[in-house]
Amino acid sequence: MATNYVTIGAGGSATVADVDANVYGLGNATLKAGNGADSVNILGNGSVSIGTGADTIRIGGNGTIAVSTASTAPDLVTVVGSGKVTLGGGANQVQMGSGSVQVGNGANNISVTGAASVAIGAGNNNVVIGSGTVGAASSSSSSRDKTAVAAGGSGNNHVTVLGAGNVNLGNGANTVLAGSGNVTVGNGANTVTITGAGKVTFGTGADSVSIGGSGTVAGSTASTAADQVTVAGTAGVTLGGGANQVSIGSGTVSTGNGSDSIAVAGVASVKSGNGNDSISVGSGTVSLGTGNDRVTMTGSGSIAAGSGSDAITLGTGNNTVSATGSTTVTASSGTSATIASGSVQVLNNGSVQTDKVVSGTVTILGGSGAVRFVGGTSTTTASLKGGTGNDTFVGGAGKDTMVAGSGSNLFEFFKSTQTGTYGGGAGGTHVIQGYTSASGSLYVEGYSLAQLQTMGAIKVTGGNTVITLADKTSITLVGVTNVNSLNVTTTPI
């Protein structure tokens, strides 16, 4: 086919039939061409409407370029200024200063240095823009636009937004890099990186998401794929039932029934599903499911363990741990608690750690430091075992078994619940094992040893010493038969 050479004067226009044409516009120009392989160069602003050939178009200023949507040929388009470009389904290449680009289902390379609106089809596209939006045509687009992007970006796309952007892609395996903004992708295996603040929404694929600032990450709750999420700042993360890995600065995390790994450096609110989860938080609240979970909390907070066999490690904060299953709690002082079904408080207020029974059935083992063991209410059953430090045992209103440690031991019994960390209460049934006067002492509020003897509150029976008070408090010292050897102090700690 012969090549036609066409020159358009400044402000002029031309129409070229279905032949190959070489068109040169001296200034601003308008061109309508057919289905040939055309080469168009307009020095100023321009408007080009062209057919199905493999065309090369350059506009030196601002311009509009409309290629037939039926085209599958590769077009090469350059608009130096602001442009509006609509292309067909070929493997097109577009370079533009700013403006809008709509392409069909080919594998396109699109670069816009400034603000842009890019609508892509089902091909594997490579898109770089300064700022703006990348995705499918909106429902308000013309029929021509919707035909060009009918598949809505379902290919495997690489999208880069240097500044703020909104990206909405389909079910391909997409790679997205943005300065800030919102990214929505479908059910493919996507990699999304936002260097600043952002929001990412994705489907059921195995996705990798990284946000440099603060943000929101919302995965499909129906997903069973393993997602990886990192947010440097404050985040809200919701994921499905895969084996997910989450690391955030602070914020909320909610996951499904997979075995998840969750790390929150600061304050957190974590709700996990029924998998075997590994969770590390600075402080805050953690709610577990029915799996066998491992939780570390370095600061203060509360942990609601589930019905699985959970292991919880605490730092130097003030914590409350409750459980419906078998839960082991290890504190910073070396103490450990086993909760069959109930809750404990671990309080670090000064040099002495307080381990307090709140509800249920609890076993607490002392460590190397000084510990204050506090019994619970009338419905609790506690086994309190001293360690190598100087320990204090405070009887509650329930059933307590107190085992003296190898250090100095003080056993305290109050007439009523004490304020602060003293705790305790009257009317409980207490059993003390391992008591010796050399390393242990008793405090029974309101009574000295002589007073207890005078009122007949002390009896030796079955090889044990039993103290019974009017408020129905019962204290049994196992293996102690010499009442006069009891070291009863009138001063509590």
Question: What's the confidence (pLDDT) of residue 179?
Answer: 97
Residues 316, 282 contacting (CB under 8 angstroms): no
Question: What's the confidence (pLDDT) of residue 422?
Answer: 54
Question: What's the confidence (pLDDT) of residue 426?
Answer: 84
Question: What's the confidence (pLDDT) of residue 143?
Answer: 37
Question: What's the confidence (pLDDT) of residue 334?
Answer: 85
Total-model pTM: 0.89
Other beta carbons within 10 angstroms of residue 2's beta carbon come to: 7
Question: What's the confidence (pLDDT) of residue 153?
Answer: 65
pLDDT in tens, the chain (493 residues): 567 889 998 889 999 988 888 999 899 999 999 999 999 999 999 999 999 999 999 999 999 999 998 999 999 999 999 999 999 999 999 999 999 999 999 999 999 999 999 999 999 999 999 999 999 754 444 433 333 333 356 899 999 999 999 999 999 999 999 999 999 999 999 999 999 999 999 999 999 999 999 999 999 999 999 999 999 999 999 999 999 999 999 999 999 999 999 999 999 999 999 999 999 999 999 999 999 999 999 999 999 999 999 999 999 999 999 999 889 999 988 889 999 889 999 998 777 899 999 999 999 999 988 999 999 999 999 999 999 999 999 999 999 999 999 999 999 999 876 555 456 678 899 999 999 988 899 999 999 999 999 999 999 999 999 999 998 999 999 999 999 999 999 888 7
Question: What's the confidence (pLDDT) of residue 443?
Answer: 95
Question: What's the confidence (pLDDT) of residue 487?
Answer: 95
Question: What's the confidence (pLDDT) of residue 3?
Answer: 78
Question: What's the confidence (pLDDT) of residue 142?
Answer: 41
Question: What's the confidence (pLDDT) of residue 417?
Answer: 64
